């Protein structure tokens, strides 16, 4: 797992450095975006949680850009064991998503930019809950953190409004598709800065 994350990060840094050296300012630009929002899943959700993301993008052509993104999502699900005598009986879920995205920018009004993206996401998920043992006469439970990793297909829609030459306000909606382990989604607001 750590090796995959290291390779992904190295690829992103090398790609970004290589692309940054070719500097046609008319169409090509680098942007860093960050923001805060809400996150949840499509299966077994108890409450909506929070979403924080950081995205580094590079516009290759007028309508095409590539981006790397880190996203941290957390939300809660109902506990596995309904009779577990703990309050609240819920699973805390933490998702860390590392995405490579290809974005298409639609031509729109002067200060508004609408883009759609898809690509590949490596997701690591941690569940914080309890291990419960009941042998008929005694019960035992103790805290436990389990984790697993999988791959997802991200679908991202962004709307940017230009406040100045370097700063955009951004609204977004992201859906991470994985039918086997459950889909996740997030939405939020952020700021995009031209580097």
Indicate whether 24 pLDDT > 60. Answer: no
Is residue 12 within a helix (H) or strand (E), and if so which, with residue range? helix 2-21
Which structural domain range is residue 112 located in? 2-194
Q: Give tens-digit pLDDT for 104-140.
A: 999 877 889 999 999 999 999 999 999 888 887 888 8
State how far the alpha carbon of 16 is from the alpha carbons of 22, 81, 158, in Å: 10, 47, 21
The total number of structural domains in the chain stands at 1
**Count of residues in the chain:** 195
Please write the tens of the pLDDT for every residue from 29-62.
Answer: 899 999 999 999 988 888 899 999 999 999 999 8
Residue 133 Cα distances to 58, 80, 83, 91, 194, angstroms: 52, 13, 12, 17, 55
Closest to 68 measured CA to CA, from 106, 15, 104: 15
Which of these ranges, 14-18, 97-101, 140-144, has the smallest mean pLDDT? 14-18
Specify the pLDDT at position 19: 47
Determine the straight-line distance between the first and last CA of the chain, rounded to whole angstroms.
Answer: 31
In this prediction, residue 80 carries a pLDDT of 86
Q: 0.85 cut: is pTM over it?
A: no
Residues forming beta bridges with residue 186, ordered by sequence position:
39, 174
User: Where residue 98 sits, what CATH number does that domain have?
Assistant: 2.40.160.20
Measured distance CA(32)–CA(69) in Å, rounded? 10
């Amino acid at each position: 797992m750590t090796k995959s994350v290291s390779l992904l990060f190295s690829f992103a840094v090398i790609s970004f450095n290589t692309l940054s050296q070719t500097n046609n300012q008319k169409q090509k630009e680098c942007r860093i975006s960050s923001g805060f929002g809400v996150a949840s899943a499509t299966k077994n959700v108890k409450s909506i949680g929070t979403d924080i993301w950081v995205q580094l993008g590079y516009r290759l052509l007028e309508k095409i850009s590539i981006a790397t993104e880190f996203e941290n999502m957390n939300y809660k699900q109902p506990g596995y064991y309904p009779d577990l005598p703990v309050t609240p009986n819920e699973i805390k879920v933490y998702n860390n998503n590392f995405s490579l995205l290809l974005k298409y920018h639609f031509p729109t009004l002067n200060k508004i930019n609408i883009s759609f993206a898809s690509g590949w996401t490596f997701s690591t998920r941690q569940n914080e809950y309890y291990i419960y043992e009941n042998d008929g006469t005694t019960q035992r439970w103790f805290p436990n953190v389990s984790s697993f990793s999988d791959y997802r297909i991200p679908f991202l829609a962004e709307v940017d409004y230009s406040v100045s030459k370097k700063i955009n306000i951004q609204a977004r909606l992201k859906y991470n598709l994985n039918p086997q382990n459950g889909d996740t989604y997030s939405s939020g607001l952020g700021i995009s800065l031209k580097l």
